[in-house]
Amino acid sequence: SFALPSCLRRAARARAMSAEAPPGVAPAEPGPSATAAVLSEMVEDAAVWCAVHGLVVGDRDNPRSGTVPGVGLVHAPFSLLPARLPTSVWKQALELAPIFNELVDRVSLDGEFLQEALSRTKQVDDFTARLLEIHQKMMAVNKKEDIRLGLHRSDYMLDSETNSLLQIELNTISISFPGLGSLVSELHRNLLIQYGKVLGLDSERIPRNWAASQFADALARAWSEYNNDRDGRIVSVVYFRAGYAPNDYPSEAEWRARLLMEQSSAIKCPSISYHLVGTKKIQQELAKPNVLERFLDNKEDIAKLRKSFAGLWSLDNEEIVKSAIEKPELFVLKPQREGGGNNIYGHDLRDTLVKLQKEQGESLAAYILMQRIFPKASLTPLVRGGVCFEDLTISELGIFGGYLRNKDRVIMNNPCGYLMRTKVSSSNEGGVATGFAVLDSVYLT
Ligand code: ADP
Ligand code: MG
Ligand code: MG
């Protein structure tokens, strides 16, 4: 059971903020019964669209899912209507993509910086230590990567207090959802082409999203840049869809494989250096005063990046640890992990900090502290398992970025589509795969 009129109210609000709405005139709302009929029809159409276009995921409730190909699939969880986003914020996020790409590339070339910045983390985080070990081996033999390919996603939330776009994190390995993300934008476009009139929404306000084909294009261009088409014999591009989590290395064999790939002349997406640049510790180090200046020359670019940085602190800052223990609700405690579900919030954050402080040694160095961002919550119709329900939600915008260079020649450096994820505002974490969030797209206002 869900409150139908408020779903339409959300749509109506979007209309009211759009340019063609005459000032002072509230858009008409259809009566409740018309609304109910339209909504259930939309949910059904959307679910069918998902099935037909492959906007599906494995169904956890089906025991054969994941073991028998093509069996046990269900539509991916999605929001029924796209999330409103001011055009200025959208442009800002797009503008940041090539600058972050360039930053990743520059930082990746400074092996000493990476080793130094992660030296304390290494002592308490075995996984990071293993990655650094591979990186160290490459430094020792002076390994150069002439062709560098980055498929990134920079994630943001719109802070409600300051109305500013703040970066959550920058992902450089195993980026999820260029595929399903593109499809959700198409789903929403199609729904608005069909129902836009009655909802007062314009399908053209959903930006086109070619993330999947743009990433595929980047991979193909890397292959042609490698310029050796003896397939079957020479591996030109290694793309990692795993390898970012300790579980991906159950034995020494996986670590040996990772090292072998790094030693090879193949283009790695990502190289060990690019991977390390994407760690939370490096994010925090880059946010320190005067660090961006080490890597970038353009002052305007530096200012743009800095504007998107939230508060980030290392835990050797006693003042901030004290503040976080006093007001844990204003912070997020992050270990060096990827994939969602690893961060620590609220009471757990306080307890963890108190416990870590008592322990002797370096255990605090495994984490960073981040300012907690509070986006404005709105009521959203969400569809999961074929059922529509309404909840208070907040959204996280991810901008995909593609980067390819060969020595001094930058072949590609641009935004490659987007991913909006929307989660129930009471939930801390945001993963779609982990079951916290739904896929969404953007409605420009
Ligand atoms: P991961 O690499 O595991 O995705 P993130 O830094 O993206 O780690 O954190 C996971 C989720 O936690 C985010 O998608 C977001 O929902 C939430 N989150 C992370 N940092 C913050 C923050 N500073 N303020 C509010 N929520 C955050
Ligand atoms: Mg991440
Ligand atoms: Mg994340």
32 is a domain residue:
yes
Q: Alpha helix locations (H) across 18-85?
A: 32-53
Model confidence at 430: pLDDT above 70:
no
Choose the residue to mutate in 164, 167, 169, 333 for probing ligand 1, maximizing ligand atoms within 8 Å of C-beta.
169
Mean pLDDT of the chain: 91
Neighbour count for residue 312 (Cβ, 10 Å): 20
Neighbour count for residue 298 (Cβ, 10 Å): 10
Which residue has the least CA distance to atom 12 on ligand 1? 429
Query: What does the buried/exposed string (b/e) look like for 141-172 if buried means 16 or more CB atoms within 10 Å of the residue's CB?
Result: eebebebbbbbbbbbbbbbeeeebbbbbbbbb
For the chain, counts of helices (H) and of strands (E): 15, 16
Number of domains in the chain: 1
281 is a domain residue:
yes
55 is a domain residue:
yes
Model confidence at 13: pLDDT above 60:
no
Dihedral Cα 135, 138, 143, 144, nearest 10 deg: 0
Mean pLDDT of 286-305: 98
Taking only the tens place, the pLDDT of each residue in 371-394 is 999 999 999 999 999 999 999 999
Residues 6+ apart with CB under 8 A from 160: 374, 375, 376
Confidence of residue 9 (pLDDT cuts 50, 70, 90): low
Q: Cα separation of 249 and 400, whole Å?
A: 26
Strand (E) or helix (H) holding 56: strand 56-58
349 is a domain residue:
no
353 is a domain residue:
no
Give percent of the chain above pLDDT 70: 91
Model confidence at 27: pLDDT above 80:
no
285 is a domain residue:
yes
Active site residue 329: no
Model confidence at 351: pLDDT above 90:
yes
Q: Is 214 helix (H, G, I), strand (E, B) or coil?
A: helix
Measured between alpha carbons, how far apart are the two ends of the chain, in Å? 29
Strand (E) or helix (H) holding 314: strand 312-314
| pLDDT at res. 7 | 54
Q: Cα separation of 101 and 103, whole Å?
A: 5
Active site residue 176: yes
Which residue has the least CA distance to atom 9 on ligand 1? 340
Atom of ligand 1 nearest to the CA of 431: 14
CA 134 / ligand 3 centre spacing (Å):
24
360 is a domain residue:
no
95 is a domain residue:
yes
Structural domain range at position 245? 4-310+373-444
Mean pLDDT of 385-406: 96
Which is the catalytic residue, given 79, 154, 176, 182? 176
Q: Cα separation of 227 and 229, whole Å?
A: 6
Model confidence at 30: pLDDT above 90:
no
Model confidence at 8: pLDDT above 60:
no
